[in-house]
Amino acid sequence: MNLKYDVVVVGAGPAGSSTARFAAMGGASVLMIEKRQEIGSPVRCGEGIARHFLDDVGIPFDRKWVAQEVKGAKIISPAGNVLQIDERHAGNEVGIVLERDAFDKALAKLAAKAGAEIWVKTTAIGLLKDNGRVTGVRVKRLDEELNIEAGCVVAADGFESQVGRWAGVKTLMKAGDITGTLQYRLTNIDPDPDFPHYCEFFLGTCAPAGYIWVFPKDEITANVGLGISLDRLKDKMDLKRYLDAFVKKDPRMKRAQFLDMVTGGVSTCPPVKETVRDGIALVGDAARHIDPITGGGIGNGCVAGMILGKVLADIKKRGGTYSKEDLQPYERGWREEFEETLYRNWMAKNKLVSLSDEDFDKIIATLATAGIGKLSVHAMLKVIKERHPDLVERFADMI
Amino acid sequence: MQTELVSLRPNVRDNGIMAIDDILCMHCGACVGTCPTNAIFLNEVYLTFNEDCTQCGMCVKVCPVGAIDYPHGHRLSELK
């Protein structure tokens, strides 16, 4: 068996599969490993993504992984003020509600078609290093333990990333930059004129320093979940108490029943300082490519994966060594693409978490009457500044 | 006649560092990514703590289903 590859990708989520696909497409020999027995399962996601990402990274549209297409987003304040935004302008998580398990498999298929080798039920248990340089990965595949040499190891192992930590990359977060999440997939939801046509976001103390989402999956089913910042969680099971209280209050969910329960951690931190070292690159959640305001990461993960895959293929073509210098185009590439947005949104998040329910009511009412066309932090702050200068003082440095 | 509980499925593993309720655990990795000392390991569906743990409690709070507790005898332990 050939146990030497140009690229070994750890983790077969959207970021890993995109990396594997574009690296293999460009001629690199690629192995992607997944610790679970099934790619895409269990789902750990709210499953919302904006349409444009599919074009951006060349994913052919397929009904198989689309649960519901929505017209837009509704942002709802504690008092019930609603800001409705068209899908095209509603940010990176609104447009399509996915079947994530099928979506992840579709991306893995694209990687396989491009020539990547894929192993499941294979866990990375350590990194191989030589003189500080990562030279490969030790894996357990069923009952075998193997050393696999790699020009470059790609850490696409998600929020709980070990590979990055093993390589010495600082991905540690403060409590205020970690969000605990819990989601119920509820069915038998009662009809409502706008359900299932909008992705809903509920702000305020229903989810302190976070929000509650209702993403429709079909006419009677939705992902109902919430994220709360770790520094606001006081006791065990706080997340469940908040989500249960919300479900109990929503009249549509009186007779709702469970299909699924999803849990997870989400990073809401500023972009990491370094995502490449000699022989290793971090991508997706492992590189904290998640939007600190929305907690969305599928799109960014795919885009970063594409950039990394192309860079890896390019290094292969010119006979490079996958050193830190060789990998710089990836570091620069993803930063050019979305570092500023991540940083700006992290700054905005830190201020948004200080707003009261009354503040949210005022802001949403203001934005709704002003007819804001685009859901961006910058656009919203501008409108608020005109109408409520008092509210926006805290954000003054960001406008 | 009195109802009697005849069998008991063991569910809490307490290694003296931290305790995990295996029936509750969703194996989602929220605690693993949160741990500041990288003392938690998730081997597919088996969560375990090692001696690097400082019992800081971040994992207890971040766990969405409350599956992690301090070990038996710890002042914050809720274990019966």
Judged by DSSP in three states, A211 sits in strand
Q: Number of helices (H) and strands (E), helices first, in chain A?
A: 11, 18
Min CA distance, A40 vs chain B (Å)? 13
- Contact between A93 and A49 under an 8 Å Cβ cutoff? The reply is yes
* Per-residue pLDDT tens over the stretch A253-305: 999 999 999 999 999 999 899 999 999 999 999 999 999 999 999 999 999 99
Q: Is the dihedral of CA A300, A304, A305, A310 positive or negative?
A: positive
CA-based nearest residue in chain B for residue A235: B61
Q: Is A174 on the interface with B (CB under 8 A)?
A: no
A114 C-beta neighbours (distance < 10 Å), count: 20
Question: HEC states along B16-67?
Answer: CCCEEECCCCCCCCHHHHHCCCCCEEEECCEEEECCCCCCCCHHHHHCCCCC
pLDDT at A396: 67
Inspect the interface and report whether the beta carbons of A182 and B65 lie closer than 8 Å.
yes
CA–CA gap between residue A348 and residue A185 (Å, rounded): 30
Inspect the interface and report whether the beta carbons of A123 and B30 lie closer than 8 Å.
no
Nearest to A180 among B30, B38, B44 (CB): B30
* Per-residue pLDDT tens over the stretch A104-156: 999 999 999 999 999 999 999 999 999 999 999 999 998 899 999 999 999 99
Q: Provide, rounded to the nearest whole percent, the portion of chain A with pLDDT above 70.
A: 96
CA–CA gap between residue A156 and residue A141 (Å, rounded): 18
CA–CA gap between residue A174 and residue A294 (Å, rounded): 18
Tell me the average pLDDT across A5-14.
Answer: 98
Measured between beta carbons, which residues in chain B are less than 8 angstroms from residue A181? 30, 64
Measured between beta carbons, which residues in chain A are less than 8 angstroms from residue B30? 159-160, 180-181, 263-265
Q: Is B25 on the interface with A (CB under 8 A)?
A: no
Q: How far is CA A240 from CA A62, A225, B11, in A?
A: 34, 10, 20
Inspect the interface and report whether the beta carbons of B29 and A265 lie closer than 8 Å.
yes
Q: Which of A290, A327, A323 is nearest to A307 (CA)?
A: A327
Min CA distance, B59 vs chain A (Å)? 9
CA–CA gap between residue B30 and residue A372 (Å, rounded): 35
Among residues 253-282 of chain A, which lie with CB inside 8 Å of chain B? 261-265, 267
* Per-residue pLDDT tens over the stretch A343-360: 999 998 998 899 999 999
Inspect the interface and report whether the beta carbons of A123 and B44 lie closer than 8 Å.
yes
Computed over every residue of chain A, the mean pLDDT equals 93
CA–CA gap between residue A372 and residue A382 (Å, rounded): 10
Fold of A4-47+100-173+270-348: FAD/NAD(P)-binding domain (3.50.50)
pLDDT at A91: 76
CA-based nearest residue in chain A for residue B29: A160
Inspect the interface and report whether the beta carbons of A160 and B29 lie closer than 8 Å.
yes
Nearest to A44 among B28, B42, B60 (CB): B28
Inspect the interface and report whether the beta carbons of A175 and B58 lie closer than 8 Å.
yes
Where does chain A hold its CATH 3.30.9.10 domain(s)?
Answer: 71-98+175-268+355-399
Amino acid at A163: V
Task: Give phi and psi for B14, each to the nearest 5.
Answer: -120, 110
Inspect the interface and report whether the beta carbons of A162 and B62 lie closer than 8 Å.
no
CA–CA gap between residue B39 and residue B27 (Å, rounded): 15
Where does chain A hold its CATH 3.50.50.60 domain(s)?
Answer: 4-47+100-173+270-348
CA–CA gap between residue A183 and residue A264 (Å, rounded): 9
- Which of A124-128, A362-366, A388-392, B48-52 shows the lowest per-residue confidence on average (mean pLDDT)? A388-392
pLDDT at B45: 80
CATH number of A71-98+175-268+355-399: 3.30.9.10, 3.30.70.20, 3.40.50.2300, 1.10.10.10? Answer: 3.30.9.10
ipTM of the complex in this document = 0.89
* Per-residue pLDDT tens over the stretch A88-102: 877 777 899 999 999
Judged by DSSP in three states, A278 sits in coil
Q: Where do the H-state alpha helices sit in A71-227?
A: 100-113, 163-166
pLDDT at A101: 97
Instruction: Kindly list the structural domains of chain B, giving each domain's residue range(s) and its CATH number in brackets, ordered by start.
Output: 21-69 (3.30.70.20)
pLDDT at B10: 78
Nearest to B61 among A44, A172, A230 (CB): A230
pTM confidence score: 0.93
Min CA distance, B4 vs chain A (Å)? 30
Residue whose pair of structure tokens reads 């579709």 in the numeric block: A106
pLDDT at A385: 76
- Contact between A4 and A69 under an 8 Å Cβ cutoff? The reply is no
CA-based nearest residue in chain A for residue B62: A180
